[in-house]
Structure 1
């Protein structure tokens, strides 16, 4: 792999199979660099370990994005998304009651509302 600036934009155009092949090459390169590190290799190769690790991370990010998008597209037809793909928001918002659940009343509340409606007062002028 070349040492020039690496663009993620190019990765997003590739297919998952190609990305996985390139990822395996990078992992092999990382293993070689780590063995060179153990055998006290030159400083130039040691500095490359960080670059290779970052590049691997970029590949994995793009692969995971593609997988998530494919699952989202497949789940559009069904009613529910997988839990990890739903919006996180906050715990309080996720556990809030729905509008219909909030509107429900107990038997006792209904009796109270029907038997003791709000009183209407006529104001003197």
Structure 2
């Protein structure tokens, strides 16, 4: 039995090393379709740079160097941050009829009870909120 397991050991080691190389080269990097952002580290992305309190101050700092739209890699998730009113207005006006619902997330519905602007689906209520926010942003 030990003789059968011996040839599998080098294959297992090679597979483990290939997996580690893949994780360090690709996990933690932003995709090609995302805007640039601050430099990332393998696996954790930008998590090490995120402050625990007042993250908006860090976003403002990054906006000065990266522009009004940049992306952050938070582990395996990529977040796009918008800080420029003109870019926000462009995105809100671009294709409002295109369905742009978020993926279903039960936790967000439990937290916001379904009526927090950032967590809402594309519903008539959301459209009313969006219209009001759009008016404020264009003043």
Q: TM-score, normalised by structure 2?
A: 0.25
- Structure with greater Cα Rg: 1
- Select the structure that is richer in strand: 2
